[in-house]
Chains A and B, each alone.
Chain A
Amino acid sequence: MPLAAPTTATSVYGPLAGPQSGTLSLAVVVLGSLLFAAAVLTLGYSLLAARRRRRRVPMRAALRSELLDRLYGRDDPAWDEWVAGLSAAERDELESLLDVYLRELDGRDADALAGLGRALGVHERARREIANGGYWDRTHALVWLALLRDAPDRDLLRTHCTETPRERAAAARILYAAETDDCATTGVDLLLRDEPESFSVFGVDTLYRVAERDPSPFFERAAADFARWPPALQRQALLVVRHLTTVVGDADLSWVVGSLSSPDPSVRSAAWRALGAYGWNRAVRDTVDLAAIAADPTPPVRASAYRALGTWGDAEAIAAIEAAGTADPDARARVTAAETLVSQRTSAEAVDPNDPPRADLGADRTASANGRSVDETAAFDVAWAWAVEHARFDRLARDISRDRDRLHDEVRG
């Protein structure tokens, strides 16, 4: 931005002199130096990067070819012998390739690649970095050990890897990946000991994986500590419960049921979704007040309740959805109730878009018979028709059977 005028009256009528001119000259010199440095740095980086690419691209291709040949083309890959003959740059590039393939491969291939990691010294280096490295070195090392399925000493993990949720998750992940016997006990301990914070999606996934191995340690920890956890972590624990497929037997689920009364609506919502998996458990069900669903002031909580009841799927649950869902004042909750009820019907023929279920109406299908307004009934009819239509499209898109053509014709009209 140029100036229209000088900065002081004294400089108006004559050339600059003295300190002012000197200051400006100094500024020019400083700025010029900065510009020079910026240009040199930028171009220097660019040239270096280009040179590196020129060298690394063919190197990587050759290493990949050799790696795959040794992995699949030979009985003995002889990793040590190969690695010993590589330059530092080649070893660096090979580590990068190893990272890529370890993420893609499982089973014997992954076991064989772990040998390459050992030859490259990754195992030992990772342990050193966990013990002595900074945050980034440590978290990278934890990932390496998980990829290599190489569980280090538990004390090393407990001592150095519980400061942040990320480190906790990365440490527990190693135990899961290495399929250690103490995966669930130590994994849950690493994740939830002391004062845990909420996790990233990676952390939640790790908690879920270790709990899948053996849910008992997780349920025991949650039963003991759940109330002390922050709401975000409570939600995540409930999310894990929702997805668990391993039978929990006689695990204490009182904390899950208790969460239905949480002051945080997102926790209540998560609790309902979690309970969806326990419809078979009469002891749990008996503690749940289905009549209270309609009284919850938060529509997403009611919607979650409808979904949970739909997962239960028995007559009592369906009746509860029909009682609350068909008269729900919120459009999205109504649609969820309708979707849940539609999903209970098994075939397209059984679902009539013009015949939505009515709660407790019996043979007398008049709105006033149930004390329900015509508006409420009409609103649910709209939600029902919407749900039926979308269910048809969902079935069609998912169907790979011989019925697909019929469904296709049906949808296309």
Chain B
Amino acid sequence: MTTLEALGTTLVVGSGVFIVTYYLLINVGYLLIHVLALVQLRDSVRESEWTPSFRAFDSPFYPGVAMVVPAYNEAASIVESVRSMLALNYPDQEIVVVNDGSSDATLERLEEAFGLRPVDAEVPYDVPSEPIRGVYRSATHEDLLVVDKENGGKSDALNAGVWLTDQELFCAVDADTVIDRDALLDVVAPFLEEPSRTVASGGTIRVANECVVQDGQVKEVNLPKTGLAGVQVMEYLRAFYSGRLGLARLKGLILISGAFGVFRTDRVREIGGYRHDTITEDFDVVVRLHEHLSDNDVDYRIEFVPEPVAWTEVPETLRTLGRQRRRWYRGMMETVVASRRMFFRRAYGRVGTVVLPFFTAAEALGPLIEGFGYVLLPLGWYLGILNVEFFLLFLLLTVGAGVFLSWFGVFSEVWSYNRYESPWEVLRLLWYGVLENFGYRQWKTIVAWHGLIEYLRGDQSWGAMERRGFGDAGTDSAEAAGAAGPGVATAAATDSEAGPDDSASETGAAAAAADDGGFVWVDRLVDASDTDGFRWLAGVAADESTGRFVPSGELTAGAGDGGFVWTTDFSEGVGDGGFVWVTDPSLGAGDGGFVIALDDDGSARPAATTDFSEGVGDGGFVWVTDPSLGPADGGFVWTRDPLDGAGDEGFVWVLDGGS
């Protein structure tokens, strides 16, 4: 054996030992968390079975709750969502819908349905959000407030709602989340039990795919038919019934789902509200609450209540799921890095000394190290140093440990609330716990590495979330963005991603306003470097830069951080739509679009116009959310990944004079 071979062998063997040790420690940690979760679940079940002999609606002491609902392009479902929330069982409730600069008819639908009229007065508070265009009240529903503001993303919209309510508590909820009728009563239970100490409380998110939803309520709980969604059901159970319960037992809950969580309004205002520069605002806000309250030596508690349930739709394609998980990973990294000063400091209690370090090791670094292991495996085989017997035995153990932890989550559900009533469905859940270890788990390590690269590159996009919609309120729309929560595997896991917003600002080519105007290229919109792209503006003259499209396999080669690719599925892009070629400009958002104009030197450039006869050919590009409006059932969407499109390259915009 040469020196080089010996060195390589030592490196591989050393790495293997490190990975094995790391893996064992993490799994021991997980196992402890799961055991703690079981104890906590037992207590939670007991607690939920004890109902005091008084009537909530007769008591003047229930804290008021504002349901803060950020809404971006939710025209199809917003009215149904608000009606559903107005029907929740709770004695003192307000609904605050924040229209986050939607480019569709979200506000108009609300106006029609609830008799909204503008409040003819200036907002008297300094709200840490994008400018508020108007505040609306309902002529029929005293407890409904609608805030119309410039687009600023989900965090921004939440801040507007938090600042414009007077309620003691607020519940952050996604517009397309279905909430059980009594869920609000249940999720405030920690605030009822210890009113002076509780600052936040989170509920369980479950998967709504294939469930029967009627009148804004889940009437029948079913397991999804596809394996991908089914595996996510199992992941959600493991995350909520094992991970979060265990962390709550440790007094170290660091994540409350953005799709359904209740907070003390004044405490969130004290920390300045939600941060705008994070894509997992729900994770970030809880960690910052821990930090702030510990810094100020406040006796507080942040609780998780397993029974109150909100339902959300999960991605059913690997591409959409990958996008979601990459975003979660980036958000997790952001929050972990932002909270680094809390690590290993006793001043922050178990959150600083145990939870954050373990979470980082398990959820942030774990998948990366696991992925590294998958690379070492063929390398070891190639070098002839792979002990097959050992490998097979250990693979059995590691897969076995993974399956056991997954089954723990399923058992917790069956043992406690048992929403999946059919034993056959439970069997399927157990099967998913096995299945995820073969392929899905390995795929997630690739996603984590991809997410890490995006994080290091400063990617702030939310990506598109493809949804089929619920029952009678189905939306059938591909929505830009939204959502919450880092979540990743076991300990902290998945959240809603349901969500509106963070829309135009991160979707590059998205956000077509309904006003007259044209599509223009805007460089570094609102000081956010990731928002370059075509934007529909009321005045085309707002931008004076000129340039041209050039084909490229590297979409970061041009101005901005992405480009356009051709696809028949608009959810592939990061916006909520794309450009299609039509002959009638009125088919798109706004009154016009882009034609291809030829310059004197023969070069082509897009020109904004409302008259498509001005360009080459008999039509032009308009912004739509339905790709079938174009003659070829497809169009161009904005993306950062050329593989999102039908080919392996796209078009990037190169400024004149630039490279």
A and B associate in one complex: yes
**Chain A residues with a Cβ under 8 A of chain B:** 1-9, 11-16, 21, 24-25, 27-28, 31-32, 34-35, 38-39, 41-43, 45-47, 49-50, 53, 103, 136, 139-140, 143, 146-147, 169-170, 173, 177, 198, 200-202, 204-206, 208, 231-232, 235-236, 239, 243, 266, 300, 331-332, 334-335, 353, 379, 382-383, 385-386, 388-390, 393-394, 396-398, 408, 411-413
Say if the beta carbon of B646 comes within 8 Å of chain A. Answer: no
> Which of B120, B266, B385, B421 contacts A5, CB < 8 Å?
B385
Asked if B52 and A2 sit within 8 Å, CB to CB, the answer is: no
**Chain B residues with a Cβ under 8 A of chain A:** 9, 12-13, 15-17, 19-20, 23, 46, 50-55, 59-63, 115, 117, 119-126, 137-142, 191-197, 266, 370, 373-377, 379-380, 385-387, 389-391, 393-398, 400-404, 407-408, 410-411, 414-415, 418, 420-423, 426-427, 430
Asked if B196 and A235 sit within 8 Å, CB to CB, the answer is: yes
List, in ascending order, chain B residues with CB within 8 A of A42's CB: 407, 410-411, 414-415, 426, 430
Q: Which 5 A-B pairs rank lowest in CB-CB distance, beginning with the nearest?
A: A5-B16, A4-B376, A397-B142, A393-B137, A146-B53
Asked if A50 and B423 sit within 8 Å, CB to CB, the answer is: yes
Cβ of B29 to closest chain A Cβ, rounded Å: 14
Asked if A9 and B394 sit within 8 Å, CB to CB, the answer is: no
Asked if B421 and A50 sit within 8 Å, CB to CB, the answer is: yes
> Which of A43, A204, A243, A383 contacts B430, CB < 8 Å?
A43
**A-B pairs with beta carbons under 8 Å apart, 15 shown:** A2-B391, A4-B12, A4-B375, A5-B13, A31-B400, A35-B407, A46-B422, A103-B51, A103-B55, A232-B195, A332-B125, A383-B124, A385-B122, A393-B142, A412-B117
Considering the complex, give the chain A residue whose CB is closest to the CB of B415: A45
List, in ascending order, chain B residues with CB within 8 A of A6's CB: 13, 16, 385-387, 390-391
Asked if B403 and A3 sit within 8 Å, CB to CB, the answer is: no
Considering the complex, give the chain A residue whose CB is closest to the CB of B369: A1
Q: Known contacts being A4-B375, A204-B61, A334-B124, is A32 close to B400, with CB within 8 Å?
A: yes
Considering the complex, give the chain A residue whose CB is closest to the CB of B378: A4
Compute how far the CA of A86 lies from the CA of B379 in the bound complex, rounded to whole angstroms: 71
> Which of B50, B386, B415, B430 contacts A4, CB < 8 Å?
B386
Considering the complex, give the chain A residue whose CB is closest to the CB of B372: A4
Asked if B20 and A7 sit within 8 Å, CB to CB, the answer is: yes
Compute how far the CA of A25 lies from the CA of B418 in the bound complex, rounded to whole angstroms: 35
Give the A-B pair count, Cβ closer than 8 A. Answer: 241
Compute how far the CA of A35 lies from the CA of B427 in the bound complex, rounded to whole angstroms: 14
Asked if A140 and B400 sit within 8 Å, CB to CB, the answer is: no
Considering the complex, give the chain A residue whose CB is closest to the CB of B46: A136
Compute how far the CA of A140 lies from the CA of B142 in the bound complex, rounded to whole angstroms: 38
Asked if B117 and A388 sit within 8 Å, CB to CB, the answer is: no
List, in ascending order, chain A residues with CB within 8 A of B396's CB: 28
Asked if B430 and A382 sit within 8 Å, CB to CB, the answer is: no
Cβ of B95 to closest chain A Cβ, rounded Å: 13
Compute how far the CA of A286 lies from the CA of B393 in the bound complex, rounded to whole angstroms: 84
Residue with the greatest number of chain A CB neighbours at <10 A, chosen from B124, B380, B402: B124
> Which of A4, A206, A388 contacts B54, CB < 8 Å?
A206
Asked if B139 and A389 sit within 8 Å, CB to CB, the answer is: no
Compute how far the CA of A232 lies from the CA of B400 in the bound complex, rounded to whole angstroms: 49
Q: Known contacts being A38-B411, A201-B61, is A139 close to B50, with CB within 8 Å?
A: yes
Considering the complex, give the chain B residue whose CB is closest to the CB of A146: B53
